[in-house]
Copies of this chain bind each other. A is one copy, B any other.
Amino acid sequence: MTKIGFVGVGKIGQTIAYSIVMDGLANEAVFYDIVPEVGEKFEHEMRHAVTTRGLNVEMLGTTNIDDINNYDIIVITAGKPRKEGMSRRDLFADNAKLMFELSKQLPNRNPGALYIMVTNPVDMMASVFQKYSKQFTISTGDQVETMRMRSYIAKKLKVPVTQVNGFVGGEHGEDAVIFWSTVTVKGKPIEQYNIDKKEVEEYVKKIPAEIIRVLKGTTWGPATIIKDIVRSVVKNENRVMSIAVPNEFEGEMIHVGIPTVVGASIGPTLESTLSEKDRESFNAALRDFHKTFKELMSQVQLTA
């Protein structure tokens, strides 16, 4: 009996909810959206979809957040989306206010729930939500960048995508860093292959904006990847994924992506197994994140 709530079912929220429900991961699902009828009409679409698949899932579309009641996993996509030309951090102020509100609304009715943040800037929003809710929150971190990196190397080297391994870490977005010490192709270090690392890094940084420019949003890639994070929790698969879990840093719980074991319990991270260089990149990301987070937080007013 797994109950999964979706806070926000706009374009990305719908795609994530669809992927999760269709993979048979939820016995019950609530689709909450502030826009009238969106959750409810999406519920109809989903009812038609589960019928053809022979899945019995209880579903409810709603504009009442109190319908998320006693849920196990809550996936948050609500907020302003990133538009062409915007950086993820441009979204900080507006979305931080929303996270503050949600942090007051969700925890009481959902004791022990796991919160999965998708709203951008995703790591920062996870930290905001955790700060005010005191609930264990993960950010989908760099698992999206991780898959983009692998897919690009596979295409470039003309090898199957299943033969490329390795992780991206640091803050999700423009500052993410490839942990090159973890990258392998057919089980061998990437250094044994003829590939331009700069080119890979460029791809990972720039492809989301390219997709947004043409398709008005990234959906299929992130949704499938986020579904797999949820799957690894629900099925207790213990997959290592580059998500961001709470890290204590100068008294603040902050979220920066690093390969982490994701199952019924989340952690440990694989920090201690990284190369010194990659570990240093991660620590630099923590410091940068903390500094920016404090700055941005000082510019918004979050009160009930």
A38 to B215, CA, bound (A): 7
The interface residues of chain B lying within 8 Å CB-to-CB of A37 are 214
A238–B235 CB distance below 8 A? no
What's the nearest-Cβ distance from chain B to residue A59, in Å?
10
Q: How large is the interface on A (under 10, 10 to 19, 20 to 34, 35 or more residues)?
A: 35 or more
A261 to B182, CA, bound (A): 12
Cβ-defined partner of A54 (8 Å) among B56, B184, B236, B273: B236
B162–A234 CB distance below 8 A? yes
B214–A41 CB distance below 8 A? yes
Within A162-200, the residues touching B (CB, 8 Å) are 162-165, 184, 186-187
A51–B151 CB distance below 8 A? yes
Interface string of A35-78 (1 = CB under 8 A from B): 00110111011111111111110000000000000000000000
A interface, over-half SS: helix
Q: Considering the complex, give the chain B residue whose CB is closest to the CB of A231.
A: B54
A53 to B143, CA, bound (A): 13
The interface residues of chain B lying within 8 Å CB-to-CB of A266 are 187
What's the nearest-Cβ distance from chain B to residue A295, in Å?
31
Interface string of A128-169 (1 = CB under 8 A from B): 000000000000000110011011101100001111110000
Residues of chain A touching chain B, judged by Cβ–Cβ distance below 8 Å, are: 1, 14, 18-19, 22, 24, 37-38, 40-42, 44-56, 112, 143-144, 147-148, 150-152, 154-155, 160-165, 184, 186-187, 207, 210-211, 214-215, 218-225, 228, 234-241, 261, 263-266, 268, 270, 272-273
